[in-house]
């Protein structure tokens, strides 16, 4: 079942502009996913309520909420692109530019 869910979520991963993501950040629903993690795998863990794995990623700072500094920078570039995945009630995002830092 989780393989089917992973496949389904993989097909839902899509680029999104910050302008679209920003309202979700304002309600605290955006989760920044480290580039080392597969967005669909994170989605599966959240959708199946795999608390152990999710808490491990949080403890390792692989899943974070956007910092005020990140939000300020991203607000200045509405066309900034992220890879995104909606797993209600969250919007998971990866910043491709994070690899460049």
Q: What is the pLDDT of residues 79-97, one digit of tens each?
A: 899 999 999 999 999 998 7
Into how many domains does the chain fold? 1
Q: CA 94 to CA 80: how far, in whole Å?
A: 11
Does residue 101 surpass a pLDDT of 50? no
Amino acid 78: pLDDT: 74
- What is the layout of strands, in order, in the sheet containing 63-64? 14-17, 81-87, 90-94, 30-33, 63-64
Amino acid 37: pLDDT: 97
48-80, pLDDT tens digit by residue?
Answer: 999 999 999 999 999 999 999 999 999 998 789
Q: Which domain holds residue 83?
A: 2-100
Which has the closest alpha carbon to 65: 21, 97, 96?
Answer: 21
| pTM score, whole prediction | 0.92
Q: Is 52 exposed, middle or buried (0-12, 13-18, 19+ CB in 10 A)?
A: exposed
Name the DSSP class of 67. P
Q: CA 44 to CA 3: how far, in whole Å?
A: 9
Q: CA 74 to CA 97: how far, in whole Å?
A: 11
């Amino acid at each position: 079942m989780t393989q089917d869910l992973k496949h389904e979520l993989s097909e839902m991963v899509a680029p999104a502009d910050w302008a679209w993501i920003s309202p979700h950040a304002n309600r605290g629903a955006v989760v920044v996913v480290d580039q080392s993690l597969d967005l669909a795998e994170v989605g599966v863990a959240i959708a199946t309520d795999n608390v152990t794995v999710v808490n491990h990623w949080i403890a390792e700072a692989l899943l974070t909420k956007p910092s005020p500094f990140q939000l300020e920078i991203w607000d200045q570039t509405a066309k900034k692109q992220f890879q995104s995945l909606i797993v209600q009630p969250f919007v998971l995002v990866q910043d491709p530019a994070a690899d460049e830092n």
